[in-house]
Structure 1
Amino acid sequence: MPIYNVVTALNVVSDEQKASLAADITRIHSEITGAPTSFVHVTFNELSGTNIYSDSVPSQPLLITGITRAGRADREKAELAKAVSSAAAQVTGVPEKRILVVITDHPARFAVERGRILPEPGVEDDWLDEQAKP
């Protein structure tokens, strides 16, 4: 379920950097939360320079919103936000002072993936095993 949406201005992040950042976000999310990598989705939205502002002037930040399943400790979500910010800076070359990462969560019972209500954190293997049954 986690959905990470990266918003920035056009041509700030190359296609190669997008692929690398998506891989890093997927790895980081899985390592910190224990969720399977197959659950992680990463999208990129690029806006023209006149459609993204910081401090009321056109800018080129990386704005990363992560939506995860509720039930994780605040410490874990803070660790996740910091690790994603660091990886984004390293991969893209955008300074961390221009990167904003926000992690929000929603109850798993309000999300459907693969046609099924998502499991609570920690019981993903059982959910995946049930999915594999004929």
Structure 2
Amino acid sequence: MNTVLAAPPLSQSALKATKVYLFLVKPKNASREHIAGCVLAQRISNSLAVLPTSDTNNADAKLVHGLYCAPEPHPTPLGIPRVFVPTTYRRKGIARALIDAAARTAIHGCPLDPRNGQLAFSQPTDSGRRLMDSCGVQRVYEEEDDDLQ
């Protein structure tokens, strides 16, 4: 998944603190299920609010992964460092279903609402940015150096 997303690998300590959500499908005439999507979710502490395009002239705006963000960090409990759905399964709501499942269950007894700033993506691709918009996520975070190998 990291290779396809051009993302750096996560460290062993980051992986141990990560929950993995898989979307399985059983194609017709197949004896086994296939993975049609994967989302990684992990606890984070802060994220940055993505600014609307009209606010990008703000001198205080910070460029993070190609997105202009407000410079002030906001408390955010859940980060999504990786989302992947193979091209054959895209545009079917799989990524959205996985994000919703992560928001509901990643923190036991504390369902989160992505639209209320309780969830952030790291390094979104163009497709990831569209997914953020469709899920109502308007926050991004930078992975810590110690989270990377």
TM range (shorter): 0.3 to 0.5
More strand by share: 2
